[in-house]
Amino acid sequence: MASVATNPSLFKVILGSSSPARREILADMGYEFTVMSAGIDEKAIRKDKPEELVKALAEAKAEAIKLKLHGDCAPGRDQTALLITSDQVMVSKGMIRERPRSAEEAREFIKGYSGDRAFAVNFVLVSNLSTGATRGGWDIPEIKFQHIPDDFIDKVVNQGDMTCVAGGLKLTHPSVLPFIKELVSNCSYFVSHKKKEHTVLILQMQNNSEFGPLFCPLCNFLIDCPCRYGG
């Protein structure tokens, strides 16, 4: 697995995301890649269920980037081209939390996490631009929060750069980590689990392997699982 991930000559990787975290993950894994922005109106795509929303957004980003590329990655070219698109939302108190539209909305989101729990609902899609095949998967860790004091919330909201993400709070920021009481998945989720998710999808796509059922990381049921966002 490592030999494939560190050999950039085997395939070209295009990251269809402006997320610094996604760029960092792929760079740490040894991939050489280019970045393209989909430039879609995400608010125009609406779904009631969070897992359906992130999937629809990742797919829409992929389609938009394919249109921009036109024939650059057409079948028959020597090098396989893989496009990675993704989306994430937070679910808090049964409500979908996307990127906040204002400082007040960010404040509301963070206050809702305080002393409670939330789910980070992720979907990653890998598209083989040379064959048209796609592989995708969800990741839904549960995050339990300590009490988050108002003065910290005020500082974060006023600072701005920690709230311009889905859910309104950059969970990987060192100042936020003390307020995370527990992660249901492995404590190294923010790096190792996402690396594994990307690697498995990329290798399945490159090797044209069959993509099996998608399992919820919380309870090992199929993605329409009984534990999701439960009380």
Active-site annotation, residues: 87
Strand partners, 231: none
Estimate to the nearest angstrom the gap between the alpha carbon of 127 and the chain centroid: 15
Closest CA to 139 of 99, 74, 184, 82: 184
Between CA 213 and CA 66 the distance in angstroms is 26
